[in-house]
Structure 1
């Protein structure tokens, strides 16, 4: 979910929190600063910013007929008569 402190150091090539925050800003990576000065960085945001492709699984669609739609149409016509 979040980068580890070591991953943030590796990404920014900086050890001090303030310098890390500056480098992340230069890289366009959104981050939050905790009360102690350490940084919170979402792993997925870094991956997106650096060009990783994110795949989203599509919901499976049924290949068969939609019987619920057919029943509601038939019900509507029966009430109108």
Structure 2
């Protein structure tokens, strides 16, 4: 559901939270800050922004509606 701490470091190339937030903003990736200061980043949003489809995930809205045919 959300990126792990290690995944966030891998994605941003940064370990400090403010640097990570800056890198995320530059990539156009939305994020939130938890009450404890940790960043929360949606895995699905990252996949959409970077154009990576997760295995097994199907975008129902992108499926063709053949009912009109």
**Short-chain TM bin:** 0.7 to 0.9
Which structure 1 residue ranges, 5 or more long, are not aligned? 59-81
What is the RMSD computed on CA atoms of the aligned residues?
A: 1.8
Q: Does the alignment pair 1:4 with 2:17?
A: no
Question: What CA distance in whole angstroms lies between the structure 2 residues aligned with 1:16 and 1:56?
Answer: 34
Distance 2:59 2:48 in 1: 13
Distance 1:7 1:14 in 2: 11
User: Where has structure 1 moved over 6 Å in runs of 4 or more?
Assistant: none
Deviations 1:21-59 (A, max 9, x none): 00000000000001222100000000000012463246x
Aligned residue for 1:55? 58
Pairs within 5 Å for 1:33-48 = 33-48=33-48
Structure 2, unmatched stretches of 5+, are 64-69
CA distance in 2, matches of 1:8, 1:33: 13
- Matched residues, number: 59
TM-score calculated relative to the size of structure 2 = 0.76
Structure showing the higher helix proportion among its residues:
1
